[in-house]
Amino acid sequence: MKLPVIKHLTQFIEENDEDFVLETIETLEALTEVSSLKDEELDVIGELISNMYGAIEVNKMIKDGTPTKEALNNFMKRVLGSIDK
């Protein structure tokens, strides 16, 4: 997951609508079923999906009243904490 990408997507959600990101996730998930995709291509799609889900999570925290910077930092701490385990 890339914090700058999540931050950008979070701003996109705030300016537009979360539904755009959710529909994009669905589209990317459908693309993963294409049998001719290479592993590298699947990795890129997976990274995009992860970043989009991350932005949705951060957006939920912001909606619940957490300041944007704090929401981003808390999310990344949670992600890094789960990787260390």
Tokens of 28: 């990317």
Q: What confidence tens digit (pLDDT) does each residue in 22-65 have?
A: 999 999 999 999 999 999 999 999 999 999 999 999 999 999 99
Amino acid 84: pLDDT: 57
Give the confidence band of 83 by pLDDT, cuts at 50, 70, 90. Answer: low
The mean-pLDDT minimum among 16-20, 23-27, 28-32, 78-82 falls in 78-82
**Three-state SS sequence of the chain:** CCHHHHHHHHHHHHHCCHHHHHHHHHHHHHHCCCCCCCHHHHHHHHHHHHHHHHHHHHHHHHHCCCCHHHHHHHHHHHHHHHHHC
Residue whose structure tokens are 């704090």: 70
